[in-house]
Chain A
Amino acid sequence: MAKTGFKLSAARYSVSGGDTHHGRVISPTQIKVTRIVLRRDEDVRNSQIKGYKYLLP
């Protein structure tokens, strides 16, 4: 545990694999997704503007 009280995340990006450039850890936004990722229904529902009605539920 750090002094600031923040719990350090257990997730670590590899610095030895293919997801690095010259040994630097890359940010999650720079990781290329090579496949279509299925979205959670909740996320899709939350993306809809409030009060708008679906053509298909």
Chain B
Amino acid sequence: MFESFYPIHCSGFKKSLHVNQIKGIWYYSFRTENYRYIVEVEFYVNDFYVVQYYTTKYKTHPKKFQILTNEHKCRKIVGTCVQIMLGIWKKNPLASFGFIGANTYDPETHLEEPVDNTQRWKIYKHAMEQNFGPETFKHGAQSNNSRYVMLNKKKDVIELNNEINQLFEQNYDKP
């Protein structure tokens, strides 16, 4: 279902100034038929990675993660992100992953989807369930903020979950 993907290019790593919390951001890019996309993989302490992407068309838009392109290439785009995650896990077998399914924003009508149980969250959750099994990762979800995590079972998942809950609250909470 999410097997197909676009060729991926790794654009580099930007080191963070706050290394005690976030170590840096890996940048990847890929090109669909109509747009170029940037994938940002935030690398936190405890080998925790947060994956997010946007199209360069809305690079400077404050809601760049929330805008739909209506390109109808969702499966292949999500499949590309899955391949990036797989590549990271191959480089770092202790890696854990997380994401937030951003609520859709329409720049024309200025309408915004509620933050709970978003359509993106449902799709990404489905993609994770199909590709990453429970032997390697402990899956965790929070529908009412559209958060999802996959915690590496080589680590103490309960402790890691507590730390990640704090991290999400500090960095990603919406008012």
Contacts and interface: CB of A to CB of B under 8 A. Distances in A.
Q: Do A and B bind each other?
A: yes
Interface of A: 32-33, 35-39, 41-42, 44-45, 47-49, 52, 54-57
B135 interface: yes
Contacts of A38: 138-140, 151, 157-158, 161
Given A33-B142, A37-B140, A54 B131 contact: yes
Contacts of B158: 38
Interface in B100-153: 126, 129-144, 147-149, 151
B1 A44 contact: no
A47 B127 CA distance: 10
B168 interface: yes
B164 A54 contact: no
B4 interface: no
A33 B143 contact: yes
A39 B141 contact: yes
A20 to B, nearest CB: 18
B89 interface: yes
B32 interface: no
A48 B161 CA distance: 23
A38 B138 CA distance: 7
Interface in B42-99: 82, 86, 89
B133 A57 contact: yes
Contact of B130 (A32, A39, A48): A48
A41 B134 contact: yes
Contact of A44 (B86, B89, B139, B165): B139
Contacts of B168: 36
